[in-house]
Amino acid sequence: MLAIVCPGQGSQTPGLLTPWLETEGARELLASLSAAAGTDLEQHGTVSDQQTITDTAVAQPLIVACGILSATALGLDGLTPETTVLAGHSVGEITAAALAGVLTPEQAMALVRVRAAGMAEAAGLTPTGMAAVVGGDQEEVLAAIEAAGLTPANVNGAGQIVAAGSREALQALAAEPPARARVIPLKVAGAFHTEHMRPAVDALTAHVADLTPADPRLPLLSNRDGQTVSTGAEALSRIVDQVTRPVRWDLCMQALADRGVTGVLELLPGGTLTGLAKRGLRGTAVLAVKGPEDLDAARAFMAEHTA
């Protein structure tokens, strides 16, 4: 059983698309996705600096485009519901929805355009951010996050919880971290998946009301609770809700374990979710797509775990 997982914001790095421009059809696909997203994804993926691609309005479309581009290069058409499951972390859930056929790639980019703009605007209202709390006892970490006036925005499993809220509160948590834990600031522009993002919900709700989604052609997990999403309408509803709800990637990993997943393939920009899987799904094979040079190995990995 194969799991294809799509990373979220913070996984992007400058120049990550440069080597992909030489792959067949990449420039044309990026042009189409750029038109739908209203931003130059080729430029942001090749020459834009770290500060530019950390901007929420740029980062989210770039990450979704990376996932779609790498999936297109791999070719997912032959995958079946009996052998493959999809999941995405945070904005990666939009990538996963596109790969499941809920949305076309262009619809996914238009959706992430609205999401990113709304969340960027919400993030600009108050100085907020996020930090990964790594290690420690989970209950003690959750208690420390709450005591600091923060929200556990991502419960990622494998000893990692992401706290979100005001920058002052994050600094206070870092100054006095929970026992046996480290607090690591993340390269994001706001307190995502908290009530700080509430102003972004209305525009996103209005946008999805005009869409006619298809039902998923492959099992699609929700990062709200790790449950399988059965209809396209439910997938869109959950994508809207997740703007202010915590991401429970720990429950997604538990769902993958319960399904008997033997291999976890992370699409571009790969590395973060396979890192969590190494610790949270011990014994499960993992492979992260980082560059075109990984495509042959990824195809072989897909064949092995869907046989």
72 and 34 in a single domain? The answer is yes
Of 146, 166, 185, the domain-final residue = 185
Total domains in the chain come to: 2
48, 90, 196, 305: the active-site residue? 90
Q: Find, among 284, 175, 155, the residue nearest to 224 by Cα.
A: 155
Contact, 68 vs 95, CB < 8 A? yes
221 and 98 in a single domain? The answer is yes
Res. 188: pLDDT tops 90: no
Query: pLDDT tens for residues 120-151?
Result: 999 999 899 999 999 999 999 999 999 999 99
164 and 240 in a single domain? The answer is no
User: Percent of the chain at pLDDT above 70?
Assistant: 100
38 and 107 in a single domain? The answer is yes
Average pLDDT across the chain, whole number = 96
44, 89, 193, 196: the active-site residue? 193
Of 165, 185, 205, the domain-final residue = 185
Res. 186: pLDDT tops 90: no
Residue 155 backbone phi and psi in degrees, to 5: -105, 100
How far is it, in rounded angstroms, from Cα 154 to Cα 175? 21
pLDDT of residue 11: 87
Query: pLDDT tens for residues 5-40?
Result: 999 988 899 999 999 999 999 999 999 999 999 999
Peptide bond into 14 cis (omega under 30): no
b/e string for 106-123 if b means 16 or more Cβ within 10 A? Answer: ebbbbbbbbbbbbbbbbb
Q: What is the mean pLDDT of residues 237-246?
A: 96
CA atoms 218, 223, 226, 227: torsion sign = negative
To the nearest 5 percent, what fractions of the chain are helix, strand and coil? Answer: 50, 15, 35
146 and 244 in a single domain? The answer is no
How far is it, in rounded angstroms, from Cα 288 to Cα 264? 8
Res. 101: pLDDT tops 90: yes
Q: CB count, 10 Å around CB of 14?
A: 17
pLDDT band at 189 (very low <50, low <70, confident <90, very high): confident
**Catalytic residue status for 193:** yes
Q: Which residues pair with 240 in a beta bridge?
A: none
78 and 145 in a single domain? The answer is no
Res. 187: pLDDT tops 80: no
Query: pLDDT tens for residues 102-128?
Result: 999 999 999 999 999 999 999 999 899
pLDDT band at 219 (very low <50, low <70, confident <90, very high): very high
Instruction: Kindly state the tokens that stand for 275.
Output: 């890192």
How far is it, in rounded angstroms, from Cα 15 to Cα 48? 7
224 and 90 in a single domain? The answer is yes
Could you tell me the CATH number of the domain that includes residue 296? 3.40.366.10
Q: How far is the CA of 217 from the CAs of 79, 220, 229, 242, 268, in angstroms?
A: 10, 9, 11, 22, 21
Q: What is the mean pLDDT of residues 212-237?
A: 97
pLDDT of residue 75: 95
Q: What is the mean pLDDT of residues 63-82?
A: 96
Length of the chain in terms of residues written: 307
pLDDT of residue 42: 98
Domain span holding position 181 = 128-185
